[in-house]
Each structure stands twice: as C-alpha cells, then as structure tokens.
C-alpha cells in the first residue's frame, strides 16, 4: 500500500489544487515575455516584480476554513513571479497571522516585505515597529513606512535611525484617501524617502499631477494602492459588471477589467509596482498576469481613461 500524504503534504496538495482549479477557469494564453516584469528600485540594482499583494483579512486572522486559502493565495502569487507583500497594518491588539504563515511556508527571505507605523507618537511608534518586526521576524526588514503621514516629525527620525542601524533596507511614507499632496510633495523634496506609497487609478488620477513626476525626478520608488477605487463604494467592478472589455483591449494583453486598471497604473513611467488585495486565488492570478505582456503607450492610456470614464 502506498504511504498516505502526511499533514503538511496534504496541506500543500490542497493549496496547489485550489490554485490550479482557479487557474483552469481563466483563459489560457501565452505571452512572449514569460516572467513577470520587474522594475529597478531607483538608485539601486535591485528589481521588484511589478505586481504584489496587500493584506486581505485571511492574512490577519486565521480563517475558520483553515490555512489552505491563505497558503494558496501566497503560493499563487509566488508561482506567478510576485514577491512584493504589503503586510497588514496593526489596527487592533492582536498581531497578524501573516508572521506565522510566512514562517511555516519558509518564504520570508524571498518576499519583499513592507510594514507601516499606524499609530501616533514617538514611543508608541517604536513599540509598534518592534512588534511588527517581531511578527514578521525579518532582519533587516525590506521597507518600513509611515502610514498616511501621521506624526511625521516623531516617526521619520525613528525610521532614519532604524535604517542607519541596518534594521530596514528602505524607508518611506504612504498617503491615500483623496490626499492633498502639497505636504507630501514638500516632504519628498526635503527628506528624499526611498519609497512612497499612494493611491492612483483612472478614477483617481490626482497623484499624477505633481507627485508621480516629482518621484521620478527625485529617484523615489513608487508603490500604488487603491487600483480599483472609484467614487462609488463598489469600486470599478460594480461599475463594469456585465460590460465587455473594448475590442482593442487584447492589443495590450488585457484579459479582464482588473488588468485594465492595473496596466493603466503600470504604464505610468514613475510607478515601480502596484499592490492589490484579494482573498481569492483566481483574482491573484488575474492581477499577477497584469505584470505580463504589453503595456499601453501614452495615447492608449488616454483612450483607456476616456473609455472607462464614459461607462
């Protein structure tokens, strides 16, 4: 009799089966370029694959169905060449489950892990960073940021000290939610963070007015979030539900409305990468595939914007 799979093999098998089943529901096509596009972090020779994952609830609390789903989500990202993982913010007392997950999967070193200070005040910020790093157990961390520019005067010196002490390789700041970029731009000019993270999409193009060109000029890496955000709470997916992609979408290897949004973002020359959040393996596949194939040029970007805004 053949030996039965042990518990961990079974788990891996289940996770892979979930990923494969999800992949089978997507149209099959092959692109000339067979690895995910990667962009250099400005001023370095380090390349980041352009599509990453944020932190769905299944990375924060172990879901009742068990760990198969979060494992499958991460394995799918890795299988498609993703490496960037924007780790959960601490908005509650318990540390996120993600730390345990990446330890168990043995993927810590291959991931580019970001973390953010989401509390106000210097001492609270330091305690927060210590807990965050203890949870992820990565030393040095890849990127630590200040979430939404909170108490910058207190947190920025802390991040600079952590970088000088070799506890993180890069430091930066995020700003989202209909931001006013005046202060953000000023901060970029005076402090030259390694990274910024901000919202940018066809419906929310404000960052492209001054902030993205400035980041390009100053050599600051840019991570984009809120890729699917619209003025409506349902985001782009409720807006385009039941609507076919324009017939010219295949010219840019766009297979879905998610890729339509993501390729618009990735074709901005200042953008280093984009982070999306999903708890569904088929959506991970969909989003990661935006990092493959052709990207729109300037004229096509305008056409994409006009078309989506007309719906």
Ligand X SMILES: NC(=O)c1ccc[n+]([C@@H]2O[C@H](COP(=O)([O-])OP(=O)(O)OC[C@H]3O[C@@H](n4cnc5c(N)ncnc54)[C@H](OP(=O)(O)O)[C@@H]3O)[C@@H](O)[C@H]2O)c1
Q: Does 151 bind ligand X (CB under 6 A)?
A: no
Q: Which of 55, 126, 208, 245 binds ligand X (CB under 6 A)?
A: 55
Q: Does 76 bind ligand X (CB under 6 A)?
A: no
Quick check: 84 and 39 in contact, CB under 8 A? no
Q: Provide the H-helix boundaries in the chain.
A: 7-24, 57-60, 68-79, 98-105, 122-136, 152-164, 181-191, 211-218, 235-240, 257-266, 281-288, 298-310
Compute how many residues bind ligand X; rule: CB under 6 A.
26
CB of 254 to ligand X, least distance (A): 12
Query: In angstroms, rounded to a whole number, what is the distance separating the alpha carbons of residues 212 and 272?
Result: 11
Query: In angstroms, rounded to a whole number, what is the distance separating the alpha carbons of residues 24 and 224?
Result: 29
Instruction: Quote the tokens at residue 295.
Output: 């990207």
Q: Does 75 bind ligand X (CB under 6 A)?
A: no
Q: Does 197 bind ligand X (CB under 6 A)?
A: yes
Q: Does 280 bind ligand X (CB under 6 A)?
A: yes
Q: Which of 99, 179, 287, 288 binds ligand X (CB under 6 A)?
A: 287
CB atoms within 10 A of CB 3: 6
CB of 45 to ligand X, least distance (A): 26
User: How far apart, in Å, are the Cα atoms of 190 and each of 109, 193, 220?
Assistant: 32, 9, 12
Q: Which is closer to ligand X, CB of 116 or CB of 301?
A: 116
CB of 280 to ligand X, least distance (A): 4
- Residues 1 to 40 in contact with ligand X, rule: CB under 6 A: none
CB of 252 to ligand X, least distance (A): 16
Query: In angstroms, rounded to a whole number, what is the distance separating the alpha carbons of residues 125 and 147?
Result: 11
- Residues 255 to 274 in contact with ligand X, rule: CB under 6 A: 258
Q: Does 277 bind ligand X (CB under 6 A)?
A: yes
Q: Which of 184, 278, 291, 292 binds ligand X (CB under 6 A)?
A: 278
Query: In angstroms, rounded to a whole number, what is the distance separating the alpha carbons of residues 2 and 104?
Result: 26
| DSSP code, position 6 | -
Q: Which of 67, 83, 147, 268 binds ligand X (CB under 6 A)?
A: 147
Q: Does 283 bind ligand X (CB under 6 A)?
A: yes
Q: Phi first, then psi: what are they for 26, rounded to 5°?
A: -95, 150
Q: Which of 222, 225, 270, 308 binds ligand X (CB under 6 A)?
A: 225
Residues lying near ligand X in the complex (CB under 6 A) are found at 54-56, 86, 116, 147-148, 174, 176, 197, 225-229, 237, 258, 275-280, 283, 286-287
């Amino acid at each position: 009799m053949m030996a039965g799979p042990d518990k961990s093999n079974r788990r891996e098998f289940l996770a892979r089966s979930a990923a494969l089943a999800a992949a089978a529901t997507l149209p099959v096509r092959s692109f000339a370029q067979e690895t995910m596009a990667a962009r250099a972090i400005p001023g370095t020779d380090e390349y980041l694959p352009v599509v990453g994952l944020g932190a769905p609830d299944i990375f924060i609390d172990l879901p009742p169905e068990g760990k198969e789903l979060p494992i499958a989500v991460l394995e799918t990202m890795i299988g498609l060449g993703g490496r960037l993982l924007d780790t959960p913010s601490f908005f509650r007392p318990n540390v996120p489950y993600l730390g345990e997950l990446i330890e168990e999967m043995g993927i810590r070193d291959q991931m580019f892990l970001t973390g953010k200070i989401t509390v106000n005040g210097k001492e609270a910020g330091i305690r927060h960073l210590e807990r965050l790093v203890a949870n992820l157990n990565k030393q040095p961390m890849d990127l630590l940021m200040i979430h939404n520019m909170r108490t910058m005067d207190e947190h920025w010196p802390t991040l600079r000290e952590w970088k000088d002490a070799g506890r993180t390789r890069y430091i930066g700041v995020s700003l989202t939610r209909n931001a006013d970029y005046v202060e953000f731009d000023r901060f970029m000019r005076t402090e030259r963070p390694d990274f910024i993270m901000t919202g940018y999409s066809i419906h929310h193009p404000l960052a492209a007015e001054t902030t993205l060109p400035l980041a390009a000029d100053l050599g600051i890496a840019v991570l984009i979030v809120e890729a699917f955000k619209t003025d409506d709470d349902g985001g782009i997916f409720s807006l385009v539900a039941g609507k076919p992609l324009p017939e010219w979408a295949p010219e840019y290897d766009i297979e879905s409305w998610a890729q339509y949004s993501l390729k618009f973002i990735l074709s901005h020359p200042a953008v280093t990468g984009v982070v999306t959040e999903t708890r569904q393996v088929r959506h991970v596949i969909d989003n990661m595939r935006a990092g493959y194939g052709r990207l729109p040029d300037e004229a096509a970007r305008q056409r994409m914007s006009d078309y989506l805004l007309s719906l």
